[in-house]
Amino acid sequence: MRAYERLLRYAVINSTSHEDLEGTPTGEGEFELARLLATEMEALGMTDVFVDEHAYTYGFLPPTPGYELKKAIGFIAHLDTVDDCGGTDTHPQVIKNYDGNPIPLGTSGRILDPQAFPHLKECLGKTILTTDGTSVLGADDKAGIAEIMTLCQRLINDGIPHGKICVCFTPDEEIGHGAALLDLEKFGADLAYTVDGSVPGEIEYETFNAAAARLTAHGISVHPGDARGKMINAMKVIMEANAMLPDQEVPERTQDREGFYHLTGARGSVSEASADYILRDHDAAKIAERKQKMQEIARALNEKYGDGTVTCVIKDQYRNMAEVMADYPEVIDAARKAIQASGLTPSSRPVRGGTDGAQLSFRGLPCPNLGTGGYAYHGFYEYAVAEEMDRCVEILLQLVREYAGA
């Protein structure tokens, strides 16, 4: 079975995670996908397959006889998809022998246009997977899951020699919790790779430093006919706070290593309102400045409207994994050699986001990120390319060969 065929099976399972819910996982569909994957791993002949109480899904391939002393390699992808676009039911479309024209996304009225997504111009004659325009596709990261599963199938069926292979599929990565409860002792890998990127041939080992911030304004609600000099409208205070942030330092106006403040949600009434932000920067000193800026805004508004009017709560989410990966150049070099062996030229770029690998690297498991052949993540226009997914599987196979010395 090709990787894209697996993706089509996984995409129809609603495995969204939810920022506003407690516990792990935050979506019951994550368990549904985990159980399906466990069944598939057992059918392949993988050992010690296990789904724990938090939906972490483990499976292993014992080393080929004679390869017991080779390094144990981990491969990781996440079960959940983003809770975006207002849709939870995914209906994939398969466009074979793509002709280069705009692709209608079902009857949604949305069009996947190569003018807006220039990479499509490189995909003539290939097989493109899209949605019907009412949800995300979920290639982030079900494409990675599909490729890891296909890798394991190839290793078994083709008798490719290898050291121990350790697989884990994690929940709630999209809300920053994916690596938190991964049992590293049970996992047993000496090093690992997340398969959660985009372009085949890319190696990602530099991420944002990340924090979340919530501003809460406590207003004074008074009948509007008698409000002069008395009312403090909490919603307007929050709007004022947002206006105090640098208007150019937002995702839609930044690129490369430029950080940002991103308003992700706001809610409220006259008496109380709040706004949620994510803060991102590759530079540790600059992320500290961004956190300080949020606190300064809260202080300035309290001076204007009175103590306690605005509170600011900041939570760190993850750090730039480049700090750790600098000590493991051999893990990156092995990926470069595998990409070259598959016929591609390796490339690297700073990730404008994060992966499970960022947290795992700081927990002692070096874990750069590899591509999946999926594009335009987190939106209606997400798509994947079947032939690029095949190439990603080939890279993983070459990586196993690299560590096996075979």
Catalytic residues: 80, 173
Measured CA distances, 263 to 81, 174, 175, 317 (Å): 20, 16, 15, 16
Q: Which residues contact 157 (CB under 8 A, 6 or more apart)?
A: none
Nearest to 201 by CA among 340, 402, 81: 340
Report the distance separating Cα 373 and Cα 98, nearest Å.
16
Tokens 């095949």, located at residue: 390
Instruction: Output DSSP code: residue 130.
Output: E
DSSP 169-212: EES-GGGT-TTTT--HHHH--SEEEEE--SSTTEEE----EEEE
Report the distance separating Cα 237 and Cα 268, nearest Å.
11
Tokens 């590759």, located at residue: 282
Q: Which residues contact 183 (CB under 8 A, 6 or more apart)?
A: 52, 56, 58
Q: Which two tokens stand for residue 171?
A: 């929940």
Angle, alpha carbons 279-281-287 (nearest 5°): 70
